[in-house]
A and B are shown apart, each in its own frame.
Chain A
């Protein structure tokens, strides 16, 4: 009786166990084998500013046609994310819509022993968006600071002289999360170095999310790159202070510095770029790369080099 049960056990278990082991062995071998199926591609990791992510993706796609052996992998996450990743060493090129902070330069020196190298690749105007159903057309930097800044006094549309339909008066501030270059630039350019944002704004993840939320929310105001405009939102004309001319965010206004909240877009590497990364950087600065900047809704570097600030 016992032998009979042992034989039945053995006749099912042993072949099954052998088959399982054999399968595992084969899968292991397969995973280890590295047959040359296609030529090795150089991969350039490119992370950072969410403002620049569509631009960087357009560059990557176009460059794949220029040099098929190089693959540029793009992701967003905010300028802060890109800088952190560059310092960590997980990426080669960081997209930033702001400059490195002195503390970040120090960290790069300490951790990696290299200086961050800055490359200007274009300009962006930070546009102030409102919903189409909002009658307001223009705004000053001081009013923006009073709306968004800590201790700011403007909380209702009627304080700006705007009569909202349905009497819906509360200003709904749409902002970005603190890792965003747009957030940092807005804080520096409009709130001033010693001031922080007011708590209670809706802090969204991406440039596109801000514009989408503003388009769906009549009482909202938000800021984002001018390349993200969609038909359902209006970009306000901005003046430095009351009494100045109000300027619309356009390519000409950005280059001539007439639009007060325009900023530079950068690519950063640690140390001088070499090899595939250097070729990519050179291409980005070439007329082909700059044409893509223009097509994406940003302002390319004027021919003849970057204009000094």
Chain B
């Protein structure tokens, strides 16, 4: 039995209590934030809220002098279209990069690539917004011959570049988690490298890759500054990738500053916040349950 001094035991208990508080605080903060957002929007939510108009109408006129209307269908379509396009671009690129880093590159190339891709994640989102405004805008206008380059395509490309680091990180972890015995067995049977990836590794790692994609979706749905500047901020349901749209996040960011505190407009913006919170929560929860599926096997 080790003889410990009294103060060492006290210090140990103190630090353990501190770390325990830190761990619990994460849960406390999440529930606290959800409670706060819910409380701010609840006044309107339980009295004048009309779900049919809210979810079904594209007419967003919160500051109208004649007929105030709160319809977020166009905003939901904006978020969905930009996120869908971003994932359509980011998932193939991200998974491809993860496969390359994990299977096809040597150790030095692997480290360099991982660092460079993390650098993409380090770029602040407002800088991505500037890139969208000053670089992508004229580029899209000249390449596709459209009158304006602030649209779903612009937002989708920028969001894809922002989501790729997450997908690569987690995807590469998922591929690394596949036991070497799978690879050795496949190689013993005489497969080529691509056959190894396509027929053995991807099916084995598919839960982790799916989780990576879902976390990329969560990132894309919650992104504010870059899409505010890149999408043209226009309330309408897009009919092509060249249409300008407005996302839920950009609406909150641009209108919360002026909405008088506790007014209807303010509360509706918080209800949009609840909607966003719910979407990202469900996406992240799904990703987590999917990853759990690997470990239980």
Query: Interface residues, chain A, CB within 8 Å of chain B?
Result: 2, 6, 77-78, 80-81, 83-84, 87-88, 104, 107, 168, 170, 172, 177-179, 184, 187-188, 193-196, 199-205, 213, 216-220
Query: Closest CB of chain B to A145's CB: distance in Å?
Result: 14
- Count of chain B residues with a beta carbon within 8 Å of a chain A beta carbon: 33
Segment of B26-34, B44-52, B231-239 engaged in the interface with chain A: B231-239
CB of A84 within 8 A of CB of B261, answer: yes
Query: Interface residues, chain B, CB within 8 Å of chain A?
Result: 2-3, 5, 58-67, 74, 137-138, 147-148, 150, 232-236, 244, 246, 254-255, 257-261
Query: Closest CB of chain B to A259's CB: distance in Å?
Result: 24
CB of B148 within 8 A of CB of A204, answer: no
Among candidates A84, A196, A219, residue contacting B257 with C-beta atoms closer than 8 Å:
A84
Query: Closest CB of chain A to B188's CB: distance in Å?
Result: 48
Measured CB to CB, the nearest residue on chain B to A193 is B65
Interface of B is mostly: loop
Measured CB to CB, the nearest residue on chain A to B263 is A107
CB of A220 within 8 A of CB of B148, answer: yes
CB of A178 within 8 A of CB of B62, answer: yes
CB of B233 within 8 A of CB of A196, answer: no
A188 to B232, CA, bound (A): 24
CB of A193 within 8 A of CB of B259, answer: no
CB of B147 within 8 A of CB of A199, answer: no
User: Which residues from chain B contact A218 at a C-beta distance below 8 Å?
Assistant: 147
User: Which residues from chain A contact B255 at a C-beta distance below 8 Å?
Assistant: 177-179
A203 to B233, CA, bound (A): 5
A204 to B244, CA, bound (A): 12
Measured CB to CB, the nearest residue on chain B to A188 is B65
CB of A202 within 8 A of CB of B232, answer: yes
Query: Closest CB of chain B to A3's CB: distance in Å?
Result: 9
Known: A87-B260, A179-B63, A203-B233. 11 other contacts (CB 8 A): A81-B258, A83-B258, A83-B260, A84-B260, A88-B261, A177-B254, A179-B255, A194-B66, A199-B234, A199-B236, A217-B147
Kindly name the residue among A6, A179, A184 whose own CB sees the greatest number of chain B CB atoms within 10 A.
A179
CB of B260 within 8 A of CB of A202, answer: no
CB of B66 within 8 A of CB of A179, answer: no
Interface of A is mostly: mixed
Between-chain CB contacts (< 8 Å), 14 pairs:
A77-B258, A78-B257, A80-B258, A84-B257, A84-B258, A84-B260, A178-B255, A178-B258, A188-B65, A194-B66, A199-B59, A204-B233, A216-B138, A219-B147
Query: Closest CB of chain B to A147's CB: distance in Å?
Result: 15
Measured CB to CB, the nearest residue on chain A to B236 is A200
Query: Closest CB of chain A to B22's CB: distance in Å?
Result: 18
User: Which residues from chain B contact A87 at a C-beta distance below 8 Å?
Assistant: 260
A77 to B256, CA, bound (A): 11
User: Which residues from chain B contact A203 at a C-beta distance below 8 Å?
Assistant: 233-235, 246, 254
Among candidates B62, B148, B235, residue contacting A217 with C-beta atoms closer than 8 Å:
B148
User: Which residues from chain B contact A194 at a C-beta distance below 8 Å?
Assistant: 65-66
Kindly name the residue among A104, A204, A219 whose own CB sees the greatest number of chain B CB atoms within 10 A.
A204
Query: Closest CB of chain B to A77's CB: distance in Å?
Result: 6
CB of B66 within 8 A of CB of A78, answer: no
A194 to B66, CA, bound (A): 5
User: Which residues from chain A contact B246 at a C-beta distance below 8 Å?
Assistant: 203
Q: A199-B59, A200-B234 are in contact. Are A172 and B260 (CB under 8 A)?
A: no
CB of B150 within 8 A of CB of A202, answer: yes
CB of B244 within 8 A of CB of A179, answer: no
A5 to B66, CA, bound (A): 79
User: Which residues from chain A contact B63 at a C-beta distance below 8 Å?
Assistant: 80, 178-179, 184
CB of A205 within 8 A of CB of B254, answer: yes
CB of A196 within 8 A of CB of B64, answer: yes
CB of B235 within 8 A of CB of A179, answer: no
Query: Closest CB of chain A to B182's CB: distance in Å?
Result: 43
CB of A193 within 8 A of CB of B66, answer: yes
CB of B137 within 8 A of CB of A78, answer: no
A202 to B150, CA, bound (A): 9
User: Which residues from chain A contact B259 at a C-beta distance below 8 Å?
Assistant: 80, 84
CB of A216 within 8 A of CB of B137, answer: yes
User: Which residues from chain A contact B138 at a C-beta distance below 8 Å?
Assistant: 216
CB of B148 within 8 A of CB of A202, answer: yes
Measured CB to CB, the nearest residue on chain B to A184 is B63
CB of A179 within 8 A of CB of B147, answer: no
CB of A2 within 8 A of CB of B2, answer: yes
Measured CB to CB, the nearest residue on chain B to A204 is B233
CB of A172 within 8 A of CB of B148, answer: yes
CB of B261 within 8 A of CB of A196, answer: no
User: Which residues from chain A contact B65 at a C-beta distance below 8 Å?
Assistant: 187-188, 193-194
Kindly name the residue among A77, A200, A201 whose own CB sees the greatest number of chain B CB atoms within 10 A.
A200
User: Which residues from chain A contact B2 at a C-beta distance below 8 Å?
Assistant: 2
A87 to B257, CA, bound (A): 13
User: Which residues from chain B contact A219 at a C-beta distance below 8 Å?
Assistant: 147-148
